[in-house]
Amino acid sequence: MERNLIKMGTTTVSVVGRNFVVLGADKKSTLGFMVDSKEARKIYPLDEHLAITIAGSVGDALSVIRLLRAQFKLYRMERGKISVRAAATFLSNVLHNSRFFPYYTQFIIAGVDERGAQIYSLDPLGGIDEKDKFYSTGSGSPFAYGVLEAGYREDIPEREAIDLVRKALKSAIERDIGSGGKGINIVVIDENGYREVE
């Protein structure tokens, strides 16, 4: 079967503020043209100050998440909390090391540490992007980016960032056949740590 006949859909969104990050994701999981789940999880905590979003193959993503969690626990025992940049670099190395048999995933790592709030987007081969203040992954990302481009500003407060993420996801869900499910997930990470928003 040709790979382009199997389409995977999702939408994840991240926005960085002055001292916080907001992550959001839809809940639909697809298997080709079938809805596999309407309540899929696509945002995972990696540590109290660090989270990751997933788009692509769930099996590949969960395998990587288990590896990251284990490594970050070991790091914490030896040196303390891993920085957001170090976590993204570690993930980049894992993905690049598997570049000939890649994980079919796209990740966003986000968190808050001594350097402040940060987000990193990683492609399946380990390419890392840290220049932007917002990212979106998955098949709904073109629709989400339109909302993010129009609504983001450097000094965005947390409440507005949450609303912007919600609007970006809503736009993707309304126009992307691979995005949807029963509601959305939104997570905030700030100096107090990881929390899910009702």
For 98, residues 6+ apart whose C-beta sits below 8 A from its C-beta are none
For the beta sheet containing 184-190, the strands, ordered from the edge strand earlier in sequence to the opposite edge, are 134-137, 12-16, 21-26, 184-190, 193-197
The Cα–Cα gap between 183 and 25 comes to: 9
Tell me whether residue 10 is one of the annotated catalytic residues.
Answer: yes
Torsional class of 6: left (φ above 0), alpha (ψ -120 to 50), beta (otherwise)? beta
In the chain the first and final C-alpha atoms are separated, in Å, by: 41
Q: Which of 10, 12, 30, 137 is catalytic?
A: 10
Amino acid letter, residue 88: A
Give the integer Cα–Cα distance in Å for 139 and 152: 21
Residue 186: partners with Cβ closer than 8 Å, 6 or more residues away:
22, 23, 24, 162, 165, 166, 196, 197
Question: Between 141-151 and 158-175, two packed helices, what is the crossing angle to 10 degrees?
Answer: 150
Cβ-count burial of 146 within 10 angstroms (0-12 exposed, 13-18 middle, 19+ buried)?
A: middle
Catalytic residues: 10
